[in-house]
Amino acid sequence: MRHPENDREYKGLTVNSGIEQPSIVNPYLSQMRRRHRQTLTVQEYVDGILAGNVTVLSQAVTLVESLRPEHQEMAQQVIERCLPYSGNSIRVGISGVPGAGKSTSIDVFGLHVLERKGGKLAVLAIDPSSEKTKGSILGDKTRMERLSVQPGVFVRPSPSAGSLGGVARKTRETIILCEAAGFDTIFVETVGVGQSETAVHSMVDFFLLIQLA
């Protein structure tokens, strides 16, 4: 049986071939993605760190914390080249029970140090990692509202990644990178688990314990 509605001359609606769309509407976005995927060389990491570039410093810390073998090999080379420029800072370990106000105290104490001493301040805030999900909130920086926006201040939250001792697995290496970047005062905020902040003692010059009254 012939169906007139299927005959083209009886159809009132036709579908024209449209314009082929590009794979991405904004071509600049693909360029940004390509730039983001570009990996710095060891020398570029070292040059950026020694120049005090906090963006390169952040990328270098991420490289050091990575578990990928190729990243660990590159991170070791970066650390070895930065090592001669380290050891020239005052290191302060800050610990206390959870909820004692470590981050809030660092916010006030850091501003006081900048006002009296000047220079550059790095805050390495270690957050506990979940044994179940392996994730961390990394919310200590939000409680340092005034300090984190000051010029010459670098606040880096890092997960403990299951490391005991109140610090992260690569805290010592991160301190070396910060010192090479010109930070002459470094605060290390431990996870605050109570009685396990033993590893930080070997990394700092002073240890500050914050307790609830």
Residue 26 falls inside a structural domain? no
Q: Taking a C-beta distance cutoff of 8 angstroms, is the pair 107, 143 a contact?
A: yes
How many structural domains compose the chain?
1
pTM: 0.75
What CATH number is attached to the domain comprising 94? Answer: 3.40.50.300
d(CA 3, CA 7): 7
Helix (H, G, I), strand (E, B) or coil at 188: strand
Instruction: List the beta strands (DSSP E) in 97-136.
Output: 121-127
**pLDDT recorded at residue 83:** 96
d(CA 198, CA 201): 6
Q: What is the dihedral of CA 127, 63, 199, 149, to 10 degrees?
A: -50
**pLDDT recorded at residue 79:** 96
Residue 3 falls inside a structural domain? no
Residue 119 falls inside a structural domain? yes
Residue 164 falls inside a structural domain? yes
Residue 41 falls inside a structural domain? yes
**pLDDT recorded at residue 136:** 45
Question: Which domain covers residue 95, as residue numbers?
Answer: 32-210
Residue 167 falls inside a structural domain? yes
Buried b (16+ CB within 10 A) or exposed e, 12-34: eeeeeeeeeeeeeeeeeeeeeee
* Listed residue (67, 52, 58) closest to 40, CA to CA: 58
Residue 143 falls inside a structural domain? yes
Scanning the structure block, which residue is given the tokens 């009296």? 116
Q: Using N-to-C axis directions, what is the helix angle for 171-180 and 69-82, rounded to 10°?
A: 50
Residue 36 falls inside a structural domain? yes
d(CA 26, CA 23): 9
Which residues of the chain are modeled with pLDDT < 70? 1-19, 21-38, 128-141, 143, 160-168, 192-198
